Amino acid sequence: MGQHTEGRRANMVDSHVGGRVRMRRKLMGIRQDQLAEAIGLTFQQVQKYERGSNRISASKLYDIAEVLNVDMGFFFEGLPDPVGGEAVDEAGQSVDRTVRAFLETPEGLELASIFPQIARGKIRRQILDLVRTMADEVEDEAASGAVRS
């Protein structure tokens, strides 16, 4: 089983790797118990891995990569380079945090899996315009103190 992190708080790297496991598993339509069985663990252990509360050993991460059909580097994509820095978007927010927050919602995950199936760029841009307009309206309502019913 994985090693506990200090003070039961998830280490940033463990949390990131676990989040990438969760995202890939969900995108592939694999349940936690299915992944657990494939790698010889309980689904509770997979839950702990995905939360980052338990550290995934190198051999288990290798097994997970095989089941999820990704290379090992996949789990570390978006992490700051240990000798460099963190990828940042124009607003100064971590790109990884933005993508992770989006994919941690059921709607975001479903949208991310379905959106690439829309072949026509014009339709994808129209959907993006619609979402921007809706977000602007919510922002305007919040700024004016309007209460939504």
Which stretch, 12-26, 78-92, 115-129, has highest mean pLDDT? Answer: 12-26
Q: What is the mean pLDDT of the chain?
A: 80
Locate 110 and state its tokens.
């479903």
Q: How sure is the predictor about 102, in pLDDT bands with cuts at 50, 70 and 90? A: confident
Identify the helix (H) or strand (E) that includes residue 45: helix 43-51
Distance, first Cα to last Cα, the chain: 49
What is the pLDDT averaged over residues 48-52? 92
Determine the pLDDT at residue 30: 92
pLDDT in tens, 111-135: 887 888 888 888 888 888 888 888 8
What is the pLDDT averaged over residues 74-90? 68
pLDDT in tens, 35-46: 999 999 999 999
The domain limits of the chain are 6-80, 118-149
CATH code matching the domain that covers 6-80, chosen among 1.10.3720.10, 3.40.50.720, 1.10.260.40, 3.50.50.60: 1.10.260.40
Number of other CB atoms surrounding residue 92 within 10 Å: 6
